[in-house]
């Protein structure tokens, strides 16, 4: 038997390597932002509408108010990644709790919580996010909450399906027969067996959270105190004919980050789903 | 039966909410240090009665009547919480399928520690040492290394040994073994049975063995209960029941075993027909339709329980009328 270990399988997958590389580049950008541009993204750095490459000090140019695009891009990476990760984390917590309870116990717990899940899923997700952010006032916390609110049902359904499968597994009956408490069985014995699909779907969830945040910011519903890539696309829209780069540069950043997370998810899926590997 | 019984089942009736009985009027008792084998074909209710004793009935099945006592405690009305005090601690259980009864993503040492600390106030360190001892006691070589292995790194026989170690971790008084050797190679089967016997002698363990393998029964059991369609057909000491079966069903089962004396053209004896579906009302002997020596009353009236020998019981009209077994 060859040692076909998980790290080896991951590194041999091109999609995983490319996805991780792009994501690491984004992380570096986010970390470099405040160090390279301590004055923040909102200060005027040069002449308005400087095209990329026209001024060596402003490699990506400036917008209509003379703000440095590169500074915005780096600071925006922080916000996009933070919101993507935080919203996914919150959605995972809620979704895992709901999914484990419904999948393990079934019965009225299942009925009650799954009807709640259905109710959330019947509302168009982006519309729900807009309504929540409008009611609570746009801030990083409210945007995270809104995105988590529309994403947790997917996790709950996924975890529920895994737990319904695992509930019938012999080792789970064995644990019950050894007198273990349900909480112990759920979190110590069963949850580690349900991790692969959760990991894969959470990378896709971060990507869609970034997209939703960009959409909200584009509509002017982003946190007014921070800049995100969506904000930049929204601000650049009015000057689209004078300088298309205002929209294309942050748009590319969004596209690449979503692509990176999708590639990462695909790579993880191939590596974790051993049934598919030859 | 005896007042010193470790586990006593009296007229146990299990079934569906509509009254369809799946296990119907089963009584037996098991003394400490003894092995009781429950044999029967699929659907005879042998596994279901074990599940009921462990407090793990499927949601659709419930107690319809009777009672079971373990160490003097009535099991039928025990709450889930009280059951957890017994499960694993006083009653251990091993399963048919060693391939799937261990958690695939946990090291076997951690799984043993998990069981130990669930019932005993042990430190992590002490539990680990205890786990190594347990692995050694079920004759797993190099237990210190094996403790950090995952189940997929072990063979079926070794996994069954780990399962036995887990079942015995908290020093229970009763071990339930549901087809413990069915999924194993014949040579490994013998080793596992040997191990079970040793552990039983060392710990004065009562063993309830659920099986359909009469060979296993004759090797390890003291008493045997033969079940058919949820009812006890015959029970008694293994040596007597297997050498002189009283009930026609037991006789049929024994004849259906390959003896090695079969000529090439000869067919293996079989019991004609199929197990009847469980019904709400019981009428006559459940085996009557397949019984070669059935009497007219067999299909109409419940057979009486008679004693063909001092320690034996059989539920059969034929035996009650003194026909030679």
Provide, as residue numbers in chain B, all residues whose Cβ is less than 8 Å from the Cβ of A5: none
Q: For residue B179, is pLDDT > 50? A: yes
Shortest alpha-carbon distance between residue B104 and chain A (Å): 8
Residue B310 within a domain = yes
B83 interfaces chain A, CB cutoff of 8 Å? yes
Residue B266 resides in a domain: yes
| Measured CA angle at B196 (ends B193, B201), to 5 deg | 130
- Domain-located, residue B76: yes
- pLDDT value for A2: 44
Q: How confident is the prediction for chain B on average, in pLDDT? A: 85
Does the CB of B57 have a partner CB in chain A at under 8 Å?
no
Query: What's the mean pLDDT in B129-151?
Result: 91
A1 close to B (CB below 8 A): no
Query: What band does A153 get if pLDDT is binned at 50, 70 and 90?
Result: very high
What is the pLDDT, as a whole number, of residue B260?
62
Higher pLDDT, A57 or A185: A185
Per the domain annotation, does B238 fall within a domain?
yes
Selected residue with higher pLDDT from A185 and B98? A185
* Whether B248 contacts B254, CB under 8 Å: no
Q: Which of B101, B153, B177 should we substitute to test contact with A (largest number of A Cβ atoms within 10 Å)?
A: B101
Per-residue pLDDT band for A276 (boundaries 50, 70, 90) equals very low
The pTM (predicted TM-score) of the whole model is 0.78
CB contact under 8 A, A178 and B115: yes
B254: confidence class by pLDDT, cuts 50, 70, 90: confident
CATH of the domain at B53: 3.40.50.300
Q: Is B261 inside any structural domain?
A: yes
Residues of B in contact with A1 (CB under 8 A): none
Q: What is the ipTM of this complex?
A: 0.77
- Contacts of B261 by beta carbon, 8 Å cutoff, 6+ apart: none
Contacts of B101 in chain A (CB under 8 A): 170-171, 173-174
Over residues A95-145, the pLDDT tens digits come to 999 999 999 998 899 999 999 999 999 999 999 999 999 999 888 999 999
Per residue in B45-92, pLDDT tens? Answer: 888 888 888 888 888 888 898 899 998 888 888 888 888 888 888 998
- B142 domain residue, yes or no: no
Interface membership of B86 toward A (CB under 8 Å): yes
**Domains of chain A with bracketed CATH:** 5-38+64-273 (1.10.3720.10)
**Residue A1 pLDDT:** 37
Per-residue model confidence as pLDDT tens digits over A198-252: 988 898 899 999 999 999 988 888 888 888 888 888 888 888 888 888 888 989 9
The total number of structural domains that make up chain B: 1
Highest-pLDDT range among A66-70, B2-6, B193-197 = B193-197
- For residue B262, count CB atoms less than 10 angstroms from its CB and return exposed for 0-12, middle for 13-18, buried for 19 or more: exposed
| In a domain? residue B122 | no
Chain A residues inside the 8 Å CB shell of B104: 171, 193
Residue of A174, A180, A195 lying closest to B101 (CB–CB)? A174
For residues B128-157, give the mean pLDDT.
90
Between CA A189 and CA B111 the distance in angstroms is 9
Whether residue B70 is contained in a domain is answered as yes
Percent of chain A surpassing pLDDT 90: 36
Domain containing B289 equals 5-90+172-320
Best of A171, A191, A274 to disrupt the B interface (most B CBs within 10 Å) is A171
Q: In the numeric block, which tokens belong to residue A258?
A: 């979503």
Residue of B56, B93, B118 with shortest CB distance to A184? B118
Residue A33 confidence (pLDDT) above 50: yes
């Amino acid at each position: 038997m060859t040692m076909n270990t998980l790290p080896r399988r991951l590194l041999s997958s091109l999609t995983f390597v490319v996805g991780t590389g792009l994501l690491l580049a984004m992380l570096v950008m986010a970390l470099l932002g405040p160090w390279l541009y301590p004055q923040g993204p909102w200060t005027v750095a040069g002449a308005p509408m400087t095209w990329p490459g026209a001024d060596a000090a402003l490699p990506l140019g400036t917008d209509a108010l003379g703000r440095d695009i590169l500074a915005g891009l780096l600071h925006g990476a922080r916000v996009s990644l933070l919101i993507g990760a935080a919203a996914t984390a919150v959605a995972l917590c809620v979704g895992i709790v709901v999914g484990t309870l419904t999948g393990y116990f079934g019965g009225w717990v299942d009925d009650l919580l799954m009807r709640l899940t259905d109710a959330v899923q019947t509302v168009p997700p982006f519309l729900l996010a807009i309504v929540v952010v409008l009611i609570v006032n746009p801030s990083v916390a409210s945007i995270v909450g809104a995105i988590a609110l529309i994403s947790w049902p997917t996790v709950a359904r996924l975890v529920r399906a895994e737990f319904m499968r695992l509930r019938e597994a012999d080792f789970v009956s064995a644990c019950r027969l050894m007198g273990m408490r349900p909480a112990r069985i759920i979190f110590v014995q069963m949850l580690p067996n349900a991790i692969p699909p959760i990991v894969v779907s959470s990378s896709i969830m971060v990507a869609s959270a970034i997209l939703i945040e960009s959409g909200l910011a584009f509509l002017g519903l982003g946190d007014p105190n921070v800049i995100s890539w969506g904000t930049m696309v929204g601000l650049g829209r009015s000057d689209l004919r004078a300088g298309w780069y205002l929209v294309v540069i942050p748009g590319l950043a969004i596209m690449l980050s979503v692509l990176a997370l999708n590639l990462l998810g695909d790579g993880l899926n191939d590596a974790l789903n051993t049934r598919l590997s030859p | 039966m005896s007042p010193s019984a470790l586990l006593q089942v009296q007229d146990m009736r299990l079934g569906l909410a509509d009254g369809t009985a799946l296990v119907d009027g089963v009584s037996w008792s098991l003394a400490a240090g003894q092995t009781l084998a429950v044999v029967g074909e699929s659907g005879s209710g042998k596994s279901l009665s074990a599940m009921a004793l462990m407090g793990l009935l499927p949601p659709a099945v419930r107690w319809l009547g009777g009672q079971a006592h373990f160490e003097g405690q009535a099991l039928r009305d025990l709450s889930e919480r009280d059951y957890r005090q017994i499960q694993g601690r006083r009653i251990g259980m091993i399963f048919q399928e060693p391939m799937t009864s261990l958690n695939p993503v946990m090291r076997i040492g951690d799984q043993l520690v998990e069981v130990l600390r669930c019932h005993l106030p042990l430190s992590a360190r002490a539990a680990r040492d205890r786990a190594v001892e347990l692995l050694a006691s079920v004759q797993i070589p190099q237990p210190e290394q094996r403790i950090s292995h995952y189940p997929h790194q072990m063979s079926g026989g070794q996994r069954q040994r780990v399962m036995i170690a887990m079942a015995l971790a908290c020093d229970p008084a009763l071990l339930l073994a549901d087809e413990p050797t069915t999924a194993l190679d014949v040579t490994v089967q013998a080793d596992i049975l040997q191990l079970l016997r040793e552990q039983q002698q060392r710990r004065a363990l009562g063993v309830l063995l659920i099986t359909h393998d009469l060979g296993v029964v004759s090797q390890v059991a003291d008493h045997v209960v033969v079940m058919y369609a949820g009812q006890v057909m015959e029970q008694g000491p293994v040596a007597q029941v297997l050498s002189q079966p009283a009930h026609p069903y037991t006789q049929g089962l024994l004849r259906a075993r390959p003896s090695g004396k079969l000529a090439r053209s000869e067919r293996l004896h079989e019991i004609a027909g199929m197990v009847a579906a469980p019904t709400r009302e019981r009428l006559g002997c459940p085996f009557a339709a397949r019984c070669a020596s059935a009497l007219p009353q067999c299909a109409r009236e419940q057979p009486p329980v008679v004693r063909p020998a001092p320690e034996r019981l059989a539920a059969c009209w034929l035996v009650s009328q003194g026909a030679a077994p």
